[in-house]
Amino acid sequence: MKKSKLTPVPDPGVIEIRGARQNNLRGIDLDLPLGKLNVISGPSGSGKSSLAFDTIYAEGQRRYVETFSPYTRQFLDRMDKPKVDAIRGIPPAIAIEQSNPVKSTRSTVGTMTEINDYLKLLFPRLAQAFCPECQREIRPETAKSIVDELYAKHAGETLLVTFGVPVPAGTKPADFFDFLKAQGYLRVWLEGDIARIDEPVKVKRLPAVVPVIQDRIAATADNRSRLTEAVETALRFGKGKIAFILQPSALILPFSAGWHCAHCDIDITPPSPGLFSFNHPHGACPTCRGFGRTIGVDIIRALPDLPLSIAMGVVKPFQTENGAQCQRDLMRCARAKDIDTMCPFEELPQVEQDWVMFGENRGAPGEELWQDGLWYGVKGFFDWLETKIYKMHVRVLLSRYRSYTLCPDCRGGRYQKATMNFRAGGKTLPELMAMPVRELKGTLNAQRSADSTTEMLVNEVTSRLGYLDEVGLGYLSLDRPTRTLSGGEVERVNLTTCLGASLVNTLFVLDEPSIGLHPRDTGRLIRVMQQLRDKGNTLLVVEHDEAVIRAADNLVEIGPGRGAAGGELVFNGPLAALLGDSRAVGTALRAVRGERSEAAGEVVATRTQPSSLRSPADGTECRPYPASLTADYLAGRKSIPVPKKRRKPRGFISVKGAKEHNLHGIDVDFPLGVLACVTGVSGSGKSTLVHDVLYGNLLAAKNLSTEEAPGALKKLVGAHKVEQVVMVDQSPLSRTPRSTPAVYLGVFDDIRELFASTPDAVTHGLTASAFSFNSGVGRCERCGGMGFEKIEMQFLSDVFIRCPECEGKRYQAQVLEIRFAEKSIHDVLQLTVSEAIRFFSDLGEKKMVKPLVVLEEVGLGYLALGQPLNILSGGESQRLKLVERLTNQRKENCLLIFDEPTTGLHFDDVALL
């Protein structure tokens, strides 16, 4: 029977989206080709993430949830379904977002990429064991391996084959010898010579272990089987330990059949996967439990101003009334040691600096710490304070100098000492994990093995390391804590994890993977995404980087504007058609008319206004799409203006001798009063210089506490020139839906006052607190004003479900009935920033309009006043912080430090910023 033309026939080569209306999307229809690199572009707030994540990926997740058990689905069935008429042909979906939710230091790049799981299996097979005392190699010997070594090194020599027999305490020599004779042994090795026990032996006291001679034999070819039999017997009676005594030199050659150093008589822990995992109690350092850090007194914090001398008070806690005696002790002992007390502390020799900090006796000095005649050191002073922590003022004092520092036992390596006995390529596992990825790959490639299992494990590790290097993360090390990675680095690490898993026929939805990459490294990222595509996967990438856009197989532009002015499908097709290539425009025109391409049967391009296309046959000139902002910038019709006049610095903050991480003692002058930019390739040390060195030391100079110790440097000059320093980074503004832009900018207080002043509110006795969803009597009792309920899932991420009682409106019914200018409090919170500006301007509320105008100027006019901050991207969070600084400027002389403020911005948004 012939099918009707109106019957929808699914196209096996595309993902069909029909009537997408999520957030600001205006019911768009879209076909995405499978097995291609699809890039979605458009201005910020136009609806890109709504299409990619809230619609396409959300539908893929919803279908995945259908495979769960009924118990799990009873929670997840309440998840909001995307507002779309139909989605057909969607494969299993994985979202790789730029957020970094990890806060624990237990998660590292190695655990995140699963490389650690392979290393803990590989190391027992690959690594060699060494004695912690004599550093000789340890390996479990067999009778064959022992005999082979003897014939290789001592062929032809006469050997005594001996094994040790322990002597019970209090046993007389005659009784012990009678025991040996009963076993058939007549010779032992005593006092460097052979002693026959069937003859009178003049020995009054036996050693703890007596070497019993199993055989005396020459290592010749004829005696090989006899020697092997003697070795097997000696190993059996010696419980895995054997020793050969060369004749006549009396040189002793010990061997062991277990994980035991026969020379030092030391047992080591046998290798096992748990021993090489810091997340396993068998392998974790017992002091820090595998975290690599412990909380304790940081001596460096006690010396915050290193240019000061000892006499000028470089040791800060000694300058108080209670520490005056310690300062006098330091001065007296320093003079006795002939140490210059007027020289700046940082210029003193390292030996003298260590003497000041650690003293002459490294232990605690005791109760009368200044009466021992020796300098106890700053550390000794704090050790003494630790014995007085039952006093409140002592606990307060110690808290000022506590911070997370490297574990004193493992020095940040995370593993216990038994793990250090094993090395591969001459390096321990912590040393390998501290190496940059690109160096580690070469080191492991050299550790090849004939064993097929070992070779397979090496290949798995090196392939994942290769992927990390390809996406521009070759500078990372496997022990780098995940929480210290930027959002872009986390996304690229997740991308390489997917490559290593060799997934096929999967939809990957990526959120700006090029964030944080220098242009030099973008090409590597594109190659990795193309590798993922070539394995049979489909990629849907939300991206603004020009190189990624030009590398796309299919380009989708959402626009033409932001917020309410966006949500339309501006273009869908190859980039050439967007830029006006005549043949591509003809293909796009056929696609708009409903025709299919001959090659693959795919819709090549779709346009919301097909009448604007002209066929090349008409003879008219082909031009880029007029509604496309992306085309304007790619074609050069628009560009980001370069200032014609530059400001001049009004001073400098100078960093001298910065040596943190990979910085090689550099000197940098940061100009004040201008827009200064720090750039460089990925991993060159930009964040280390700005975050750790400049920002950390400025905070220390202002006596502001930080969790991490500031970056190492010789001197910071000019910190007094700024009154305040503010880091405007991409860290989330909130972890829950409770905070919103209106709350963050302080506008919500004025909004509540407006509603409380209405006649209906006064009649019902509702004050401003009743219109708060964070407290008061007006918020929904079930969700506590969040609008969502948090469902904690075992083995899955926590899920926020829309509250079924208030339906996400946060308030009780009686509060929602109060109207101001015909809008409820929920209606006002649903207004976008641009709509709110017009709404409050018409009402003459200029006070509330001012911060909202600044928010619109930085390109965030599409945000709703009540939009939860926990769903904002890193770039949106950063710009919101910028607006808060601009609208609540408390100090004029302020240093603002931005971490990639163009994150998540279209070309046109960068121009606005």
Crossing angle between the packed helical segments 452-470 and 115-126, to the nearest 10 degrees: 140
Q: SS3 for 16?
A: strand
| Per-residue pLDDT, 605 | 40
Give the single-character DSSP code of 792.
Answer: -
Question: What was the pLDDT predicted at 197?
Answer: 85
Alpha helices in 138-218 (DSSP H): 143-153, 173-182
310, 339 contact by CB (below 8 A)? yes
Q: How far is CA 541 from the centre of its chain?
A: 22
Residues 130, 57: Cα–Cα separation, whole Å: 52
Backbone angles phi, psi at 574, to 5 degrees: -70, 155
Distance (Å, whole) CA 433 – CA 283:
15
Query: CA 434, CA 479: separation in Å to the nearest integer?
Result: 6
**What dihedral angle (degrees, nearest 10) is formed by the CA atoms of 748, 753, 754, 757?**
160
What's the rounded Cα separation, in Å, for the pair 18 and 552? Answer: 23
Classify 263 in phi/psi space as left (phi over 0), alpha (psi -120 to 50) or beta. Answer: alpha
Instruction: Give the Cα-Cα-Cα angle 724, 728, 729 (nearest 5 degrees).
Output: 140
Closest CA to 83 of 19, 142, 2: 19
| C-alpha separations of 424 from 117, 141, 444, 529, 641 in Å | 16, 19, 8, 33, 55
Q: If DSSP codes are grouped into helix, strand and coil, which group holds residue 158?
A: strand
3-class SS string, 726-764? EEECCCCCCCCCCCCHHHHCCHHHHHHHHHHCCHHHHHC
* Residue at token pair 């769903």: 871
For residue 798, the Cα-to-chain-centroid distance in whole angstroms is 20
Amino acid found at 3:
K
**Residue type present at position 485:** L
10-residue averages of pLDDT along the chain (913 residues):
47 88 90 95 87 90 79 65 90 80 82 92 92 91 92 91 90 88 89 84 83 92 92 92 90 91 90 93 92 82 83 89 86 90 89 87 47 77 87 85 83 92 92 93 85 90 90 88 79 82 87 82 86 92 92 92 84 87 44 36 37 36 63 86 88 91 89 91 84 89 72 87 83 74 86 91 89 85 84 64 86 91 90 89 84 82 83 72 70 80 79 77
Rounded CA-CA distance 760/863 in Å is: 29
* Residue 424 structure tokens: 């591969």
CA distances from 833 to 289, 810, 850 (A): 48, 20, 11
3-state SS assignment for residue 114: coil
pLDDT score recorded for residue 363: 44
345 by DSSP, 3-state: which?
helix
Spatial distance between the Cα atoms of 42 and 47, rounded to a whole number of angstroms: 8
Q: What are phi and psi of 323, to 5 degrees?
A: -100, 5
The tokens for 730 are: 């991409």
Which amino acid is present at 542? Answer: V
Determine the Cα–Cα distance for residues 238 and 658; give it in Å rounded to an integer.
59
**Which H/E stretch holds residue 137?**
strand 137-138
Residue with tokens 């302020």: 894
- CA 907, CA 24: separation in Å to the nearest integer? 21
Looking at the DSSP bridge assignments, the partners of residue 244 are: 161, 253
- DSSP H/E element including 632: helix 629-634
Pair of tokens at residue 226: 């006899």
Q: Report which DSSP code applies to 336.
A: H
CA distances from 138 to 2, 127, 128, 268 (A): 79, 11, 7, 9
Q: How far apart are CA 895 and CA 899, in angstroms?
A: 13
What distance in Å separates the CA atoms of residue 311 and residue 141, rounded to the nearest whole number? Answer: 63
Burial degree of 373 (CB within 10 A; 0-12, 13-18, 19+): exposed
Q: Which residues pair with 41 in a beta bridge?
A: 557
- HEC string for 659-724: CCCCCCCEEEEEECCCCCCCCCCCCCCHHHHHHHHHHHHHHHHCCCCCCCCCCCCCEEECHHHCCE
Place of tokens 């290949």: 459
The residue written with tokens 């403020």 in the block is 901
How far apart are alpha carbons 459 and 118 in whole angstroms? 10
User: What is the predicted pLDDT for the residue at 372?
Assistant: 56
Rounded to the nearest 10°, the torsion over CA 11, 15, 18, 21 is: 180
Report the alpha-carbon distance of residue 407 to residue 416 in Å, rounded: 11
Amino acid at 841: S
* Amino acid identity for residue 780 in this structure: C
| DSSP character string of 522-578 | HHHHHHHHHHHHHTT-EEEEE---HHHHHH-SEEEEEESSSGGG--EEEEEE-HHHH
Question: With helix as H, strand as E and coil as C, how does 633-659 read?
Answer: HHCCCCCCCCCCCCCCCCCEEEEEEEC
Map residue 46 onto helix, strand or coil: coil
* DSSP 8-class letter at 127: P
